[in-house]
Amino acid sequence: MEPDSDIKFVFDEAAMVVTIDGERYIVVGDLHIGMERKLEKAGVHARGASMAMLDKLVNLSREFDTRRLILLGDVKESILYPDAIEAGVIRDFFNGLAGFETTVIRGNHDAHLDEIIDVKPVDELRLGKFAFLHGHRWPSGEAMMLDYIITAHNHTAVSMRDSNGAVYVEKAWLIAGLNAEMAAKQYDRFNKDIRLIIMPAFNDLITGMPINEHRERMLNPLLNNGVFEIEGATTYTIRGDIAAAPG
């Protein structure tokens, strides 16, 4: 169910590998580095979660033989400036990525991030046929002329039922096609065959809201305003299980 040979969804991981001009990039979103700090304040112990996430990224880079990373926003947990402990976790995380070519897309949690690390976030990255955004902003007109818009932000998940009838929630991917009529209300020009890919959260502490049950809680403006069709979208878990289409 992968859209084309330049896109690989990593089995059992909220990560994808895209190939652009012969070079591989690992793409992840919604890292929320430092979330364990917030949980600890609430009495939940998850110490080391961010460093475990760093280890996963490093292992993925070895598996796919690339040191190029695209982080799709909400890199940090605090919406404003983090406390000293969380800021230290963020610095340690990026110190662990020394030697990587890392691009950070600015998410709604990433205010002041460039005051903590040496990487300057961007609002949108366009490479080859791909546009990368966090998902809380409208894409540029240039992005709408490409083949794929890849976002995070929604923490996509689906509600599934096992053979015994028990209901569980899993992280999921969503791939949606364009509604040209609605797109024409926002953009003068666009690729009518463009597809929107929404990634699940890379952070293991986040599962997400089941989109096949709570479509009204979609955060992405492209879905909320009908530019992309949520009805009939392809939805499946990171384990590859097909889920009921939202609607």
Please state whether beta strands 23-28 and 68-71 pair in parallel, antiparallel, or not at all (unpaired). Answer: parallel
pLDDT band at 194 (very low <50, low <70, confident <90, very high): very high
Q: Against a cut of 0.95, is the pTM above it?
A: no
Selected residue with higher pLDDT from 40 and 226? 226
CA distance 215 to 44: 29
Radius of gyration of the chain (CA): 18
**Range of lowest pLDDT (36-40, 153-157, 180-184, 201-205):** 36-40
CA distance 3 to 9: 10
Structural domains of the chain, ranges and CATH numbers in brackets: 7-237 (3.60.21)
Could you tell me if 30 and 72 are in contact, meaning their C-beta atoms sit under 8 angstroms apart?
yes
CA distance 153 to 191: 23
pLDDT band at 163 (very low <50, low <70, confident <90, very high): confident
Q: Is 60 exceeded by the pLDDT of residue 146?
A: yes
Which residue(s) pair with 125 in the sheet?
Answer: 132
CA distance 171 to 29: 13
Please state whether beta strands 156-161 and 167-177 pair in parallel, antiparallel, or not at all (unpaired). Answer: antiparallel
CA distance 26 to 41: 32
pLDDT tens figures, 32-91? 998 887 767 766 666 778 999 999 999 999 999 999 999 999 999 999 998 898 999 999
Question: What's the whole-number mean pLDDT along residues 130-156?
Answer: 96
